[in-house]
Structure 1
Amino acid sequence: MFEQLLTTALHEIEASRPVLLVSVARATGSTPRKEGAMMLAGTQRLLCGTIGGGLLEHRCLSLAAVQPAHGHLEHFELDNRKAGSLGMVCGGSTEVLFTPLTDFAPLRAALTALQNRSPAWLCLPLDGSAPHIAQDSTLPPRPTVLSLHGKDSLCVPLTDAGRVFVIGGGHVSHELCALLHRLDFRHIVIDDRVDFCSPTRFPHAEHTLTVPLNELAETLNGTLYPTEADAFCIMTRGHEGDADAVRYALSTSASYIGLMGSRRKRETLFYTLAQEGFSDAAQRRIVTPIGLEIGAQTPAEIAVSIAAQLIKWRAAR
């Protein structure tokens, strides 16, 4: 999302066209989107992103078209029982920030931080003045209004600290990684087959690593070492690869370990782990079958079920 917003904004500025970043700064009660939701508005239309659609988004686009250079914070009631309401029945209220974008520098800095995967926050003063980039690791991991440099600002993290380690580059992984990219999940793909693990096959992966699956520790125990913020999606082509990947995942503090496979395959693996001394508590860390139960059959459907479970995991985290 952020990369598209930033590149589109830079393109509009280069073309000398007015462009506004419209962001949800605060949200109370039931609202279409929460803090940090963004869209980019031109004088004629929505350019990209969304703050939830419907009447709220329509009104904000109208305001942006009329006052493309006016930075300000606007309050909206979304309860049709209250005076001044937009007529929506959500029941909550929201504050939307309008930020005119005219300066290349902060947008390019944000894009560089995104591409380098370095921790950075897009900070938007609530008075509608120019944004700036902060790289202060003490800032919160979720969009939050804070006082910075004497101004209340909406601080939005540009990158999620968590990563998804996709072990196995088969059909489901191929479908899943396309979804992970659309859903702003950083992901790394690992397989022991060159044909199934390459930047061409997985163009949006941070890394595609072709290594024997029994050498995951040697490969990842460094700058790529998984942390509690990370997830594993294990879907190799066979029992041995699954076992190697699960053993490694259990040696890390990853907070999600999903395993794809049949009931018999799972039972065989769990028996092997028990024989090797893995505790019941360790085995309970494994989510299997992977994905939400939606009756998925095809690789694309299974990928949807896994992506949905990862969204749930990320929201809880």
Structure 2
Amino acid sequence: MTVWAAIADALRDHGACMLISVLSAEGSSPREAGARIVLRPGKRFSGTIGGGQLEFEAIDIGETLLRQGAAGISLRSFALGPDLGQCCGGRVRLSFEAMGVSRLAEAEMFAELEAKGRFSVASKVGEDGNVGKRRVIDNADAPAISLSGGELVESFGEDRTPLYLFGAGHVGRALVLSLAPLPFDLTWIDSRADAFPKYVPANCRLVRSAEPAAELGAAPDGAMVLIMTHSHALDQQIADTALRAGRFTYVGVIGSKTKRARMMSRFRAAGLGEEALRTFACPIGLGTIRSKLPAAIAVSIAADLLARQEAVSEGTGTVRPLATTNRARQ
């Protein structure tokens, strides 16, 4: 969910909404600090703080506050076991911020920032709960959310990994849908005029190129590269270009173990060393998922990409290839 876009929509449609945020979470809890719900009048909402009884209770509280015309922030604390009967056993503190139409311009501005990636804001909270004007802060280490000494600090948006996807066949189309809600900025490339569907998710940019491999020149350092074109020769060319660049965290090619052996032989014959080949993966996806249905392959690849993304962000390095199955070309 893009929080500020949902807030802006709610304010335009209803003139009011409630931003429900997990302010802190201790022990076992459904969601982490910074998880949010945007609640509209009538209990219509976007986002989640984990579902279950906690979420139901939060929505009821938020709806009551909206009906009462509440203003500013109010806080509630829940011991998940004793208070709600949830077996998680942790403790969660929630903030409920009522917003009126006077916040619409602010919401629209922040929605534009959120669409570009992660950003942080700070504001003062008075003793009466009134939230002052939010100001953007330059702090890469800002927490997801904190409220201390009357200062509210919040981070919105995601640090999205650039992913260059080559090929708009059945698996490519299914993968784009699987990646739509995940933290990736997707550049989807194909040489064929009629390859792409009419509509694509918001995190996807389409590029039709007569020379797909050349598009890697615009890819940022640290991007992931995923190759599943209609041509084995084109797959080899794009992968060779990506590996020689030496600046991508992952270069994956759809195919079988036989295809991997053939490609590795050609890479080595062309002078690529073992260090350059370290980021190469073929087959791709999770070896535990054996279905060859495009949607199943897409889920498998998406899960593998998430694991690799987390490994890189946590500083543990690149995850080694997980796929072991032989998959036919899409």
**Bucket of the pairwise TM-score, normalised by the shorter protein:** 0.7 to 0.9
| 2:260 aligned with 1:259 | no
TM-score (ref. length: structure 2): 0.81
2:281 is equivalent to residue 287 of structure 1: yes
Q: Which amino acid aligns with 1:107?
A: A
TM-score by length of 1: 0.84
Give the secondary structure class of the aligned counterpart of 1:194: coil
Taking a change above 3 Å as real, the CA distance of residues 189 and 17 of structure 1, as seen in their structure-2 partners, is same
Aligned to 2:225: 232
Q: Which structure 2 segments of 5+ residues have no match?
A: 314-330
3-state SS, counterpart of residue 309 of structure 1? helix
- Work out whether residues 213 and 244 of structure 1, in 8 Å CA contact, stay in contact via their aligned partners in 2: no
**Matched residues in 1 for 2:94 and 2:6: separation?**
20
Q: CA RMSD in A?
A: 2.7
CA distance in 1, matches of 2:133, 2:310: 26
Is this contact kept in 2: 1:160–1:186, CA < 8 A? no
Is contact 1:97-1:128 (8 Å) kept? no
SS in 2 for 1:242: helix
Matched, 1:211 2:209: yes
Q: Which amino acid aligns with 1:167?
A: F
Alignment of 1:105-124 (within 5 A): 105-115=105-115, 117=116, 120-121=119-120
Aligned residue for 2:131?
129
- Report the CA distance between 1:220 and its aligned residue: 4.0
8 Å CA contact retained: 2:184, 2:203: no
Q: In the alignment, does 2:192 pair up with 1:193?
A: yes
Q: Is the 8 A contact 1:72 1:98 kept in 2?
A: yes
Please tell me the residue identity of whatever aligns with 2:179.
Answer: L
2:166 is the counterpart of 1:173: no
Which structure 2 residues correspond to residues 1-317 of structure 1 after superposition, within 5 A?
1-2=1-2, 5-68=3-66, 69-70=70-71, 71-78=73-80, 80=81, 84-102=82-100, 103-115=103-115, 117=116, 120-121=119-120, 129=131, 132=134, 134=136, 136=138, 138-140=139-141, 143-145=144-146, 151-197=150-196, 200=198, 202-213=200-211, 215-216=213-214, 219-221=215-217, 224-228=218-222, 230-250=223-243, 251-293=245-287, 294-316=289-311, 317=313
- Alpha-carbon deviation of 1:163? 1.6
- In structure 2, the CA distance between the partners of 1:185 and 1:135, relative to structure 1 (3 Å rule), is farther
Distance apart, 1:261 and its partner CA? 0.6
What do residues 215-235 of structure 1 show as CA deviations (whole Å, max 9, x unaligned)? Answer: 42xx343xx43222x322211
User: Which letter does structure 1 place at the counterpart of 2:106?
Assistant: P
1:88, CA displacement in angstroms? 1.2
- Per the alignment, do residues 123 and 106 of structure 1 end up closer, same or farther by CA in structure 2, a change over 3 Å counting? farther
